[in-house]
A = this chain, B = another copy of it.
Amino acid sequence: MGSARKLVTYDGRFRMHRAGHLESPVLAYETWGKLNDARDNAILIFTGLSPSAHASSCAEDPTPGWWEDMIGTGLPLDTDRFFIICVNSLGSCFGSTGPASVNPETGHRYRLSFPVLTLEDVAESAWFVVQELGVDVLHTVVGCSMGGMSGLAFCVRHPENVRSFISVSSGTRALPFSIAVRSLQREMIRSDPKWNKGRYDVGDPPITGQRLARKLGMITYRSAEEWVQRFGRERSTDHARIEDQFVAEFSVESYLENVANKFTGAFDPNCYLYLSHASDLFDLAEYGGSLESGFKRLQLERVLVIGVRTDILFPIDQQRELAEGISSVCKDTQLAELDCIRGHDSFLVDMDAFRPVICDFLA
């Protein structure tokens, strides 16, 4: 199986938003469709915490992408009309430079010597990729979950280089419930003796901590209502998993077990820690001292804010706050409150609800 991933190297020192720098970092990205002659049909997608740049399949890589049903001919992100770019976030581990990468200045993996990562760094490094592709003004920035905040960082820092913004299940900043959850996920990984203060053996990573963190993640990515319908108090038939008297009696426990098994090993633990922490740090209010001053820096022509009523990670109140704030500086701001039952993850799994809203906005 081929890869559609392209790499581009930032030549020289990339200055990080908080402090420090990366020497000649690499950014991985994929594109779909073609940039038109006017160079005004480019859409940039910022991902959530864990996805790669492979948002959709293509000739070079036919494996389904993480937003497969959203990108393609006749789909909302229509590859016949748009030139679509998705960048693997800086700090991640799917081609872009991150804590798991080798620091060219030392010849060793960065690990915890990687500078503090912020979503501003994610935004700026994506902007570098966009410019390399010959685009000066983006038709639309789309950001999902953490990516919505990266997108907001982009729009507030490059107001003249973006016309429209779609925020999907995100917000202006993390609230204490989400901070508490992510902080605990990080502590789970750091508490695993195999983490070894970030100096784990890459072939023997802190799987136990990662599994716990992933399970807690799933508990907050979905909704209690969905699980009542889906699992109720059904018992697991997967008796092979019953290790002792405290585990895997209920279907919901087996489900979490399967989810954790799939994810673990696929994501570098230090990269996870950095990106999770970056999600907590972002705050639109840092632009001028208040959310209001942050919103005032935007020069968007059209905005769509989509959220889900059962989302507990970026609850519906945050969607309203975001839409209301942006509407004070951009009249053409739409808020779509969806009744999906699958919580925060709905944008990945309930495509029938999301597609028409994004389709209408981009029509």
By a beta-carbon cutoff of 8 Å, the part of chain A in contact with chain B is 112, 116, 173-177, 179-181, 183-184, 186-188, 190-193, 197, 208-209, 212, 215-216, 219, 224, 227-228, 230-233, 244-253, 256, 273, 276-277, 280-281, 283, 312, 315
Indicate which residue in B174, B228, B249 contacts A175 across the interface (CB closer than 8 Å).
B228
Jot down 30 A-B pairs with beta carbons below 8 A, ordered by A: A116-B245, A174-B233, A175-B233, A176-B224, A176-B227, A176-B228, A176-B230, A176-B233, A176-B251, A176-B252, A177-B227, A180-B215, A180-B227, A180-B256, A183-B250, A183-B252, A184-B212, A184-B256, A187-B212, A187-B215, A187-B247, A190-B247, A191-B208, A197-B244, A216-B216, A245-B277, A246-B277, A249-B280, A249-B281, A250-B280
Minimum CB–CB distance for A241 against chain B, Å? 12
Bound Cα distance A138, B159 (Å): 70
A276 (CB) vs chain B CBs: closest residue: B246
Provide the bound-state CA to CA distance between A312 and B208, in Å. Answer: 27
- CB <8 Å contact, B183 and A253: yes
Min C-beta distance of A177 to chain B, whole Å: 4
Q: Which residues of B contact A188 (CB under 8 A)?
A: 188, 212
- Pair A253/B180 contact, Cβ less than 8 Å: yes
Given the complex, which residues of B lie within 8 Å of A175, measured CB to CB?
224, 227-228, 232-233
